[in-house]
Chain A
Amino acid sequence: MNGTQEVAAVTQARLETTGSRLRELVAHLRHQRAQLREEWARLITEAKLLTAMTKEEIFAEATSVYDNYVEALETGTYEALQAYARNLSERIIPRGVETHEVVGIVLLLRDVLARSLFATYHEDFNKLNRILDAYEPAANRIAATVAVGFVQERERIIREQQEAIRELSTPVLQVRERLLILPIIGVIDPQRARQLTEQLLRGIRTNRAKVVVLDITGVPYIDSPVANHLVQTVEAARLLGATVIVTGLSPEIAQTLVNIGVDLGKMNTVGDLQGGIEEAERLLGYKVVLMQEPALQST
């Protein structure tokens, strides 16, 4: 048999028996399940992957992944595996499992199985070749499916967390009738600045506020567009009939505001939150009096 004929024969055989070869492969993997699974789990531990999980957990997950893997090879459909990958990611991401670990273990499994195929068919090179022809594309596709599933799950979690942070980032709190405070913590990016404006103006309307204390003690610095935005927010609040008192300006922010040439006649600023609330109370006509008997019992 010369080379050309051989290639033709292989092509012919591939067309006829991809299905039967996969069946043979699956049967082989089922047969060797216990041993291969063990070998895989050992390699995972050796490669120091999934260190966040215990040995038993790794073994249990290895079993499920193995079975799902063989099933995907058998049926040629990846939905079940995809769902499993998503489910697995959901469970292991909170425990700090990294992307490289997940990709690493799937690739390890691919290698373990390939090794076992070599070991079984090494005497019949043509057969090994044909089995690998069937195995490799499927194995690669499985690896990609699991990795993509993991990354997608990760991204979904990140999106959810961003959403949560965004919602938490600008609370509008009423401390007295007609008095709101907005404590801002962390860096203000343009998007957050827009949201801040919206929350503040809306808060004034819904709470019928006359005075708003905007506390930016927790903001380390702002750039000039955001500083401008802040000044505009203060002016917009005035158009709604409310006074904004800005408190807790850091030296850096003070510098930025001076650099953009803020009109101090329009900006009402007080050193700290306490001073801001006291000033607000004064504007609203409140007078806070210390009672003789403190309500709080000292222990």
Chain B
Amino acid sequence: MQVPILKQGAYLIATVQSALTDEDLKQLRDTLVLQVSKVRARGVIVDVTALDVIDSFATRTLRDVAYMIRLRGAETVIVGIQPEVAFSMVKLGLTLEGVATSLDLEEGLAYLDRKAKAHQEVRAHR
């Protein structure tokens, strides 16, 4: 199952539609990391609202995506983790350390906007 990736302004939005195999996850990671500089995106949103299970491989892959994209000069935010999913992840010790998370797509966009603004302010000061 391929994950559609949409470009919205300066952001890429990947919306997961159904459960993903490990292969799917790897492909999503590679596509996002490749695309982010191709379209000169400043931020990436991965929407996992549709997932009712997020296992250790998925968590690690999502974290890798976030780290790799940061190295490529953009920000990542994971949005739409369901309450039950969040708690079972934490129970398994999967806390997505160092990765930004938001309630939903709207919040994710607001987060990236805020980040971009802060970034510009820092630049203006220089």
Contacts and interface: CB of A to CB of B under 8 A. Distances in A.
Interface of A: 197-198, 201-202, 204-205, 208, 232-233, 235-242, 266
B95 A239 contact: yes
Contacts of B89: 236, 239
A54 to B, nearest CB: 55
Contacts of B95: 235, 238-239, 266
B103 A241 contact: yes
B83 A202 contact: yes
Interface residues of B, number: 18
B91 A240 contact: no
B65 interface: no
Contacts, number: 50
23 contacts: A197-B87, A201-B86, A201-B87, A202-B83, A204-B83, A208-B107, A232-B91, A233-B90, A235-B95, A236-B89, A236-B90, A238-B95, A238-B101, A239-B90, A239-B95, A240-B83, A240-B101, A240-B103, A241-B79, A241-B102, A241-B103, A241-B107, A241-B108
A interface, over-half SS:
helix
A238 B90 CA distance: 10
A232 B103 contact: no
A149 B95 CA distance: 52
B33 interface: no
B71 to A, nearest CB: 23
Nearest to A194: B87
B83 A201 contact: yes
A232 to B, nearest CB: 4
Given A202-B83, A232-B91, A235-B90, 17 more contacts: A198-B83, A201-B83, A201-B84, A201-B87, A205-B83, A205-B103, A232-B90, A233-B90, A236-B87, A239-B81, A239-B95, A239-B101, A240-B81, A240-B86, A240-B101, A241-B102, A241-B111
A198 B85 CA distance: 11
Nearest to B94: A239
B42 to A, nearest CB: 19
Contacts of A238: 95, 101
Contacts of A197: 87
Contacts of A241: 79, 101-103, 107-108, 111
A115 B89 CA distance: 71
B96 interface: yes
A92 B86 CA distance: 48
Task: Give the interface centre of B83, B89, B107 by most chain A CB atoms within 10 Å.
Answer: B83
Nearest to A200: B83
A125 to B, nearest CB: 75
Contacts of A208: 103, 107
Contacts of B111: 241
A236 B86 contact: yes
A266 B83 CA distance: 18
Given A208-B103, A241-B101, A241-B103, A232 B87 contact: yes
Task: Give the interface centre of A208, A232, A237, A266 by most chain B CB atoms within 10 Å.
Answer: A232
A241 B101 CA distance: 5
